[in-house]
Structure 1
Amino acid sequence: MGIRLSHFVYALGSVYGCYLVFHTVTGAIKRKNIREREKDLIESCSESLNASDATDSAKAAALKKRFSSLIVAGRFANPFQEYRDKGFIEFICWNLFVTLRGPIWGSGSGVCLLDQQELDRNLPVHDVDLALASAPSSNAVKVTWLGQSCVHAMVNGLSVLTDPIFSNHLVNSFGPKRLRPAPCPAELLPIDIVLVSHNHPDHLDLESCSSIGNRALWIVPLGVRKILAQRGVYNIIEMDWWQELDVTDYAATPGGRKCSYKVVCTPAMHWSGRKLFDKNWSLWCSFMICKDDKPVLFHAGDTGYQPEMFKAIREVLGPCSLAIMPCGAYKPRWHLCGDHMDPSESLKAAEDLGAEKVIGVHWGTFIVTDEFYLEPRDLFNELGAERGIKAETLEFGDCKEYIIDH
């Protein structure tokens, strides 16, 4: 028995050693490729942008090339020097520290140890006014926050759902539990298109996939189709950064006026993966919805802050009317600074985009990071007021109408 156990420990150690070597080598290759690629692209982009005879289309093409997706060693990678890959050991160390410091969830139940009356008071849940939320409007965007980055938006006559998450738990019944229930089931919402920024469980809920099914068009980054197909969903378009998709035929015509709509897949700084060994097999992204070729609604998904990326999106597409920005799940910063924006960075990104108004999401739904669950909301609203930015957060199920100029 002792021999067998020692053989098992030796084999396990050998496998882990091979993993460390592979991770180290591929990480070094990735960092080298990214540095060389970014240097070359910055030089070529600068030449194009600074040329005296450069046209707007030439400048846009240069920026698209500068901020294009990247594959290294068969997996997608962030083409930004600001991003730092985190290994599995770092993730375990962080969670071990949290566990030793004090439990976030009940033992194996995923139940947050917070007083229910406190949650009722601090995080009220409203019944979704489906008639209001789904009524087309000729000059407004109606936004209903459903939790995390899941938003139902009626963009004039186009009904959009972002990053669907309606289940009570992440991953399975043993995963983190929602602090508050979903304001309404997915089946009740009118949905023309679903925008999925990446495949993390809090942005792509498999039960929601089955509930929505093929009645809506799913627009996803490269590599996500396979997950949806396993749930019987085939009405899917995969997109790479900067690709555009005309979705005019999916929209209603409020007031009898026919408008054109398109979705543009835009860059983000994040990562993907749902299992232990599928990291970065699929791409991650953000989205811009344009009406009559003018940017109306930006969905950031999950992203860290990169100083030039959001400015590039503005330069290529133009300033947008409304931005939906993540502002939570950012502590500890030493671990999450490249993956998630804090409230200050979220507001800065909205300014870089030229957004007229901004809504803070990705907070108060699950406790999966170290900050107090209300801190993102409070800081986002406080900093927005200090900086003179039209920024706000919504309550669960709350529907608000934003007038747009075009």
Structure 2
Amino acid sequence: MSETNSGNPYYHGPISDHFDGTRFYNPDGVEPGGFRSLFKWQFSGERSRWPKSVASPFPPAKPARKIDGDELRVTMVGHASVLIQVAGLNILTDPVWSKRASPFTFAGPKRVVPPGIGFDDLPPIDLVLVTHNHYDHLDLATLKRLQRKHAPRIVTPLGNDAIIRRVLPNSRITIMDWGDGVAISRDVRLEAEPCHHWSARGMRDRRMALWAAFVFSTPAGKIYHVGDTGYHAGINYRAAREKHGGFRLAILPFGAYEPRWFMKGQHQNPEEAVKGMRLCNAAYVAGHHFGTFQLTDEAIDAPVAALDAALAAEGVAPERFRALRAGEVFDVPVA
């Protein structure tokens, strides 16, 4: 396969079925809307008003140092930031403790719910998973804090390492393409899988770093983590089931989805998330990506109400798909 070096500041590598030599893409997928569509959305006047602050119904969690055996515990920090404890490992996904999901400290989407775990109450962090480079998922300020206190291994898709190394040149980073696998410990393996999304940190780097979902194979069962995705006709969910058989737990996004004409390709809605649960054969779901930063038009309580309706329509017991609030702890039953 040929390799190019054509204006991508993050990644140079061989052309593939999801990389054209400069930009990554979703095979047979939908490109994100351009600037004209963005401006149309931003000036539509249909955005719901969120409260400036909300108290979680759960107190801040104080996690145990380690979980072993067949136990699997998930604790919600907020938005897409989740602490996974399994097989003696403490894993953080897309950690954001900053007040804004933004390149600026003075503007951009502001956190309305405090983190569900105080930063100083974190157990020793072994692994940080960064699924892609949007600011609500890749927060350099938080990664710097984690590096100083925990020096964790960071796993991220192609190209995102270049962004992280600009501020953490000595961090331990494992870079993965779709289909790659790596040993995390003696009995835990991690594989990168496709999801339907995109990436950008600014105006001129759209789709120049890869996005991915991940699967952990552990003694306590398989965990399917999706940081952000469009439903994509269920293609990636079916592929995950065909490859992995099923999951004790899927961690799925179900918020930030309106207006559908603009968001459908990149953010699934609650109905689609429930369909995805069934397609990938997940026994339980920890739902995330809602109720923390206002990124889109829907009201703050709309995703959970829509999720309740979707679960009822699909005949799925609500305890199987938990919309996790900040500080909530989910001890996942043995499937």
Q: Confirm or deny: 8 A CA contact 1:266 1:285 kept in the other structure.
A: yes
8 Å contact 1:296–1:322 — kept in the other structure? Answer: yes
| Equivalent position to 1:401, from 312, 318, 331 | 331
Whether 1:209 and 2:143 are equivalent positions in the alignment is yes
Task: Give 1:155 deviation, angstroms.
Answer: 1.4
The 2-side partners of 1:384 and 1:103 are apart by 24
Change (3 A) 1:155 1:364: same
Structure 1 residue 333, shift from structure 2 partner: 0.3
Relative to structure 1, the CA distance from residue 348 to residue 158 in structure 2 (aligned partners, 3 Å threshold; closer, same or farther) is: same
* Greater radius of gyration (CA): 1
Runs of 4+ in structure 1 off by over 4 angstroms are 101-104
Are 2:58 and 1:128 equivalent residues in the alignment? Answer: no
Please state how far the C-alpha of 1:245 moved relative to its aligned partner: 0.6
| 1:301 pairs with one of 227, 230, 233 | 227
CA offset digits 1:225-282 (Å, max 9, x no partner):
0111112152000000011010115xxxxxxxxxx10011010000001111111110
Consecutive unaligned residues of structure 1, counting only runs of 5 or more, are 1-67, 105-111, 250-259
What do residues 11-47 of structure 1 show as CA deviations (whole Å, max 9, x unaligned)? Answer: xxxxxxxxxxxxxxxxxxxxxxxxxxxxxxxxxxxxx
Paired with 1:80 and 1:128, the residues of 2 have a C-alpha distance of: 42
How many residues get paired?
A: 310
CA separation in 2, counterparts of 1:89 and 1:295?
45
Paired with 1:164 and 1:396, the residues of 2 have a C-alpha distance of: 13
Q: CA deviation at 1:130?
A: 2.1
Cα displacement (A) at 1:382: 3.3
TM-score by length of 1: 0.72
The answer to whether the 8 A contact 2:32-2:198 is kept is: no
Structure 2 CA distance, aligned partners of 1:287 and 1:295? 14
What is the rounded CA distance, in whole Å, between the counterparts of 1:351 and 1:102 in structure 2?
A: 31
Q: Give distance in 2, aligned partners of 1:217 and 1:327.
A: 28
1:185 offset after TM fit, Å? 3.8
What secondary structure, in the 3-state scheme, does the structure 1 residue paired with 2:192 have? strand
1:392 alignment partner in structure 2? 322
Given candidates 159, 164, 180, the residue that maps to 1:243 is 180
In structure 2, distance between residues paired with 1:271 and 1:69: 15
Kindly indicate whether structure 1 or structure 2 has the higher relative contact order, using CA contacts under 8 Å at least 6 residues apart.
Answer: 2
SS at match of 1:215: coil
Query: Aligned with 2:261: secondary structure?
Result: helix
Distance 1:377 1:102 in 2: 17
Q: CA deviation at 1:336?
A: 0.5
Match of 1:347 among 257, 274, 281: 274
Structure with a larger share of its residues in helix: 1
Matched, 1:162 2:93: yes
- Verify the 8 A CA contact 2:254 2:303 in the aligned structure 1: yes
Give SS of 2:332's match. Answer: strand
C-alpha distance in 1 between matches for 2:47 and 2:75: 34
Query: Is the contact between residue 24 and residue 207 of structure 2 (CA under 8 Å) also seen in structure 1?
Result: yes
What percentage of aligned pairs have identical amino acids? 32
TM-score, L = length of structure 2: 0.87
Instruction: Pick the aligned partner of 1:85 from 12, 32, 40.
Output: 32
Match of 2:81? 150
Unaligned ranges ≥5, structure 2: 1-15
Q: Would you say the 8 A contact 1:381–1:392 is kept in 2?
A: no
The CA RMSD measured in Å over matched residues stands at 1.9
